[in-house]
Amino acid sequence: MTRDVQTISPQDTVRHAAQMMDELNVGAIPVCDGAKLVGMITDRDITVRSVAAGQQPDATRVSDVMSTDVRTCFSSQAVDEVMEQMGDVQIRRVPVLDQQSHQLIGIVSLGDLAAKHAAEVDRTLEEISTPAAPDRSQLH
């Protein structure tokens, strides 16, 4: 798990999100309203939900294109359980919450798990890579 994860506000612009991703060399940033996790914005959200829809990066808010149905896990959860969840919903990154406070404490990616759990990661990656229909529900 990666700790001390950078977050972005839902009020920030898509341009700022893209710049943060470039600076941090990441493809996803948790979106927090204060201390509360309210979504995730990915490079794919920016490309598909914003740029492809013709939205202006300086005028479009993160809240307009972020994913709000965020799958999370707890730091105490079993790795097998987390990887099964990643495969089931075809995601490569999962925000990690503290079980007591429900505050964001990190993020776990498929890459984080690869070294210690190679066989399970192969199976999870296969499940994630199965084609899915595009989510166009949040296009405006």
Residues 47 and 107 in one domain: no
pLDDT at position 32: 96
The predicted structure's pLDDT at residue 72? 94
- Pairwise CA distance, residues 124 & 57, whole Å: 33
pLDDT of the residue at 6: 95
Q: Which of 86, 88, 74 shows the shortest CA–CA distance to 37?
A: 74
* Residue 65 and residue 15 share a domain: yes
Q: Which residue range forms the structural domain that includes residue 64?
A: 1-70
pLDDT at 126: 67
Q: What is the pLDDT along the chain (140 residues), one digit of tens a residue?
A: 888 899 999 999 999 999 999 999 999 999 999 889 999 999 999 999 999 899 999 999 999 999 999 999 998 898 888 888 888 888 889 999 999 889 999 999 887 776 665 556 566 666 656 665 666 555 55
Instruction: Give every CB contact of residue 18 below 8 A, 6+ residues apart in sequence.
Output: 43, 46, 57
Q: Does 3 share its domain with 65?
A: yes
Pair (51, 75) in one structural domain: no
Number of separate domains in the chain? 2
Domain final residue, candidates 50, 70, 90: 70
Same domain, 51 and 110: no
| Within-domain flag for 1 | yes
Same-domain pairing of 1 and 60:
yes
Grouping H, G, I as helix, E, B as strand and the rest as coil, residue 23 is helix
In a domain, 122, yes or no: yes
CATH code where residue 105 lies: 3.10.580.10
